[in-house]
Structure 1
């Protein structure tokens, strides 16, 4: 590591530490281990180990592109930026400020997310801004705020997980999505702890479990209510904790008791003995945790589902003390920081609410503008994308690929095509960038410095290790140049540390307070946990030990009732489809699909189904089949496995074209978080 730049992986929210050493050849650096960083202790998955491959010239954009006569052609930066500024300004003048939209990404650094939100609200004056993190952990965030008064993915450090007596992992498959995390589960088992995995598939993660529960997709809420019913019936609640540190228990208790275990067995398909075993293991442990991921969260009732699991923790006293509690396994690289500093439709920096007058006054003072000039809350991500071409006429998009990743992706592709103007700032020519009027080539992780906030609330520093190719600029330079052309260049620094210093001031006093965090401290301390209100503050690895972040300091039980998915199987579409990720690919695949080693491991889409279902439908392993829903049709090879429920099929969502799984996913929205229902819809399979 002596000649290596210490930095972090560009992919998931673990933000694993790695080193980059100079190398000869088309890829200018080589990935090396960084064993001193505590999150991964040097371990990397295949995606991280091959991360440098996307730096190769042939894998990425190196010149701006503009659309002329229906085709994209190379252009200079002045022409490209001029076209964007002119289009955004003309659209606002003709149709109003909210006719101009901004769509961000959960992989953007804190500095980029902060200035993108500022750009939308100060330069464009638009409320039409959201980001793809809405599709990731918004339900967990909403549930955490309802129960605890604060959302941070994990309210405790990762090192606490192996010290718990029992961990329930709900709808998460970290053995494929974030493999270095698995060491925490192995250490849990080595320490005598118990692992329960809830997933309709017997995944690589479920193989590690002491107990695997396989509910039907979309029934996690009923499962959590059934477990709480059993805990109450067996007299295993922590009445002292409930009395001293919570409110709302009587209503929540009544809601849980209405969900009889036999009914829950019928709804979920999980046998009653396994339900009883899970409740027994959870209550027998001296401390216990529930960790959720996209499975229960990406539902039209995802917020209520997460609150049901939080209720289980609160009822048993497993919150607000060491080695216990509820946490969300954030997915995207900066999914946590990306939602804290202004990309989200209803938020200002520091996790402040946009409709709070005091929050508006504080941030406006930092920005040097009148609080009344700031627009109000806007549409959520899917609603924003659905409005393209009608209410939103021009869009600036940074670091996202909704043509592949959005629910009902065929429809969203048509909305993008309906825009008067689309500008995309990205590292590669993604499927969304191919639709743009202007494409800007920007620096990527190894070519720029910036902070990110990992799933445990640790703010880390990703350092520049290599110069970007000629013709490539940073997103901060893009925002500065556009702001300057639109009359606001002074408030948009191109230096990331300068941007972070302003972010510190804007976040000061907010729920996500970064005021005491600096580049110097991050470098010296392997990251700093927020909240950290001043430079003498040590940071906060563990939240809620003394009080919860509610006005009275008590956690809130939230009474919830099970309801079925927005779309249930019927005669025409008799099978449940759920979606997810595979080990070698990441999110929409825009970057990983350009890496030969990763494509060799996971070359394309497929539909996974049980042999019993395959025999009934006359489907043979490896043959191409049509998957048909109310929203679209895909064609993909069949993969037979006994690791999935016979009434359920699974598709990974990393690929575009005829195998794109998100053609099927249901855009029915959670009423609180506005999360679409990615994880449950109805389909039929047709042999070809």
Structure 2
């Protein structure tokens, strides 16, 4: 029997006809891990294996998502041909027919409803080239002011805080390589162990070197487990907690007076305000004991080096921008910025969350992080594009506000690229109704997502294995994603789709690109002289050097590893501090008798964003087949919620049904639900439409809810 088996095994091995390798990058988080797909072809099937490749950021590491990313790319559900909705059903059509439908409908909408009746909704998962081209497409081909993207729901709070404080936003003010050598680290509202797993070795190395880590989160997570001190605050009270930390730092004289006098504005006003506050009131507001506030502040203040990292827990709130500014106040007051092993890091969520916000997808932005309201900026970009600056439209509105414009009838058509707004936006049912109101919706996607189901026309796009281009990772390092796997069926790249539509609309002369590299070379020129200056970066340099940190203003420049060593990016070269109120300008939803608990949201390791890709990966979907609600056992018993049973969660906006998961690691006044699922499990059905007044970020992290068991088992 053994001999027969060995003979069969040898026969199977001999059936391997060919082995190919394809270099690429992970399509998921902002670490942008380099990897290689190995494809073995047998007589009757193909087998795939993904391995990590050495690179400056992750040194060959991969997480479970990266190792299985190819599964969604090879899914049988991949779109391969344009699909037109006819009598409620999608039917296959040719690209020529698809473009004619777009031309006919776009022209009709703008002629009847106005130039701005067309909107463009972009993505932070597409390449820099495609993000750049999409912004140009909106403003040159469509001449509409309405363009924004899903990164508005991710990075807008941290980006606006950094711009207001430092004058520039690059996510990380220094490189990842400095983390292991810092003395104290604050992780505020970030669960990197599950959201960016391959970054964890930097923090683990820091601990080995003696760093003291402080985690701020209402839940205990895989990330808080590495912390020396966990501040388990009440959701939504981050700004007040930061005031408490800052008060102690100032009172204990852990400030850098020379740095403040030479390089900072606004410190005295901040000092006067925080010294007027009482730690007892901050303790009551946040739920964090005074002794823990003092311990964290003194430890951070007395260390010579320190870093602060924020993510969605702090940022996805209606005071997210000002809350991040308060953590930056701590950093500045203690002089821990612009120096070795000191700095700020906004942990970017999406794969190209950094680059996608730099080159023109935001409503108020032009390439190179230029402002669309600045006449000098408009003139420069218009000269690169070969148009009159007066022809460029003005500022539009944020992603969610475009949905309001649809309901108001101002927007009647939309071009949607690689995003799923009916799942990702707050007040999700309102958004779904908006998308249904559109006269014509074009969706570009890999799959028939929940939003694409509502489209009139779906265009099939290429995956990370097939679409070459640059991405900018969490630390601001521009990398080149090699991608030469053959596209399936009649699939086109995003940039090709944009160029083809521009051509049929009579704007082809502005979009006559034949490769991603050609687009990048125009992007380099368009960004030149801007804050996000890519001019010195080329495909050749990226291939040779493995990535470059911007700004990189010329071909001899080595890239900027550490920002603000000599000055900040404001005109006067100084950082700007601001006093941050304990209570937000827009009151947050409070727990009450009818809705007695706080809901907060986030990720799980096996899924990404709205789950469109990861739910098509069997290895990842099997790890979390459905959504869930994490709840403290004491709270669960109070509301008759048994473990692992279905529970209805209701807010003032709507309701969802998910399975309960008891956990003693969460606050008793808080429940947690991940946001990767749709329809009846879409947690964003529960989230308010209120937006941050500065950056227009929704308040995903704080909603008041009530619970009820779907089947009451308490009497059994």
Mapped contact 1:147–1:310 kept (Cα < 8 A): yes
Could you tell me which of 568, 573, 580 is aligned with 1:553?
A: 573
Deviation readout 1:56-78 (Å, 9 max, x if unpaired)? 15031111110101211111111
Partner residue, 2:215? 197
Partner of 2:412: 393
Q: Which residue of 2 aligns with 1:13?
A: 30
In structure 2, the residue matched to 1:162 is: 180
Measure the CA separation in 2 of the matches of 1:179 and 1:628: 32
Partner of 1:602: 624
Secondary structure, aligned partner of 1:620: coil
What are the equivalent positions in structure 2 for 1:9-408 lying under 5 Å apart? 9-24=26-41, 30-34=49-53, 36-389=54-407, 390-408=409-427
Match of 2:529 among 479, 496, 509: 509
The residue matched to 2:465 in structure 1 has which SS?
helix
Q: Is the contact between residue 157 and residue 324 of structure 2 (CA under 8 Å) also seen in structure 1?
A: yes
Total equivalences in the alignment: 686
Alignment of 1:419-430 (within 5 A): 419-430=438-449
The whole-number CA distance in structure 2 between the counterparts of 1:255 and 1:437 is 54
Question: Which residue in the other structure is 2:648 paired with?
Answer: 626
In 2, the alpha carbon distance for the partners of 1:297 and 1:271 equals: 23
Q: Deviations over 1:34-62 (max 9, x none)?
A: 1x212111111110000111121503111
Find the counterpart in structure 1 of residue 714 from structure 2: none
Q: Distance in 2 between matches of 1:303 and 1:33?
A: 35
Looking at structure 2, the residues matched to 128 and 334 of structure 1 have their Cα atoms a distance apart, in angstroms, of: 21
Once the two structures are TM-superposed, the CA of residue 429 in structure 1 deviates from its matched residue by 1.1
Distance 2:293 2:22 in 1: 49
Is 1:675 the counterpart of 2:710? The answer is: no
Do 2:337 and 2:343's aligned partners in 1 also have CA atoms closer than 8 Å?
Answer: yes
Alpha-carbon separation, structure 2, partners of 1:409 and 1:135 = 13
> Are residue 588 (structure 1) and residue 610 (structure 2) matched?
yes
Greater Cα offset, 656-665 or 385-394: 385-394
Corresponding residue for 2:14?
none
Secondary structure of the equivalent of 1:667? Answer: coil
Q: What is the Cα deviation at residue 126 of structure 1?
A: 0.3
- TM superposition shift of 1:280: 1.7
Q: 4+ runs of 1 displaced by more than 4 Å? A: 25-29
Aligned to 1:521: 541
Partner-residue secondary structure (3-state), 1:523: helix
Aligned to 2:555: 535
Q: Given that residues 75 and 617 in structure 2 are in contact (C-alpha distance below 8 angstroms), is that contact kept between their aligned partners in structure 1? A: no
Task: Give the 3 Å change call, closer, same or farther, for CA 415–494 of structure 1 in structure 2.
Answer: farther
Compute the TM-score of the two structures, normalised by the length of structure 2.
Answer: 0.94
Q: In 2 relative to 1, CA 520–29 (structure 1 residues): closer, same or farther, beyond 3 Å? A: farther
Other-structure match for 1:645: 667
User: Tell me, what secondary structure is at the counterpart of 2:689?
Assistant: strand
SS in 2 for 1:445: coil
> What secondary structure does 2:470 align onto?
strand
Separation in 2 of the partners of 1:3 and 1:154? 36
Q: 1:664 aligns with which of 686, 697, 700?
A: 686
CA offsets per residue over residues 438-492 of structure 1, 9 Å max, x none?
0000111110110010011100011113110121111111111110111111221
Contact 1:288 1:323 in 2 (8 A): yes
User: 1:82–1:28: structure 2 CA closer, same or farther, 3 Å change rule?
Assistant: farther
- Indicate if the aligned counterparts of 2:254 and 2:302 stay in contact, CA closer than 8 A: no
Q: 3-state SS of the aligned residue for 2:534?
A: coil
CA distance in 2, matches of 1:177, 1:233: 36
Q: Displacement, 1:8? A: 1.2
Note the alpha carbon deviations across 1:483-534, whole angstroms, 9 max, x for none: 0111111221141000000000100000100111000011111101110111
Higher Cα Rg: structure 1 or 2? 2
Cα separation, 2, equivalents of 1:383 and 1:335: 20
Structure 1: which 5+ runs fail to align?
A: none
SS at match of 1:15: coil
Q: Distance in 1 between matches of 2:41 and 2:426?
A: 42
State the Cα distance separating 1:23 from its structure 2 match.
Answer: 3.0
1-structure distance, mates of 2:361, 2:555:
26
Q: Secondary structure at the match of 2:380?
A: helix
Q: Quick check: 1:20–1:465 contact (8 Å CA) kept in 2?
A: no
Q: Distance in 1 between matches of 2:598 and 2:370?
A: 38
Aligned to 1:449: 468
Quote the offset at 1:142 in angstroms: 0.5
SS of the residue 2:680 aligns to: helix
- Maintained 8 Å contact 2:22/2:485: no
Deviation, structure 1 residue 3: 6.2
Mapped contact 1:27–1:55 kept (Cα < 8 A): no
Aligned to 1:496: 516
Write the distance in 2 (CA, Å) between the matches of 1:649 and 1:24. 47
8 A Cα contact 2:129 2:516, kept in partner: yes
> 1:578 touches 1:651 (CA, 8 Å); kept in 2?
yes
**Which residue of 1 is the match for residue 11 of structure 2?**
none
Q: Tell me, what secondary structure is at the counterpart of 2:383?
A: helix
How far apart, CA to CA, are the structure 2 residues paired with 1:476 and 1:68? 27
Give the distance between the partners of 2:382 and 2:610, measured in 1 at CA.
36
Provide, for residues 641-677 of structure 1, a one-character-per-residue CA deviation record: whole Å limited to 9, x for no partner.
Answer: 0110000000000001211111111221111111111
- After superposition, the C-alpha distances for 1:156-177 in whole angstroms (9 at most, x for unaligned) are 1111111110110000001111
In 2, Cα distance between equivalents of 1:388 and 1:686:
34
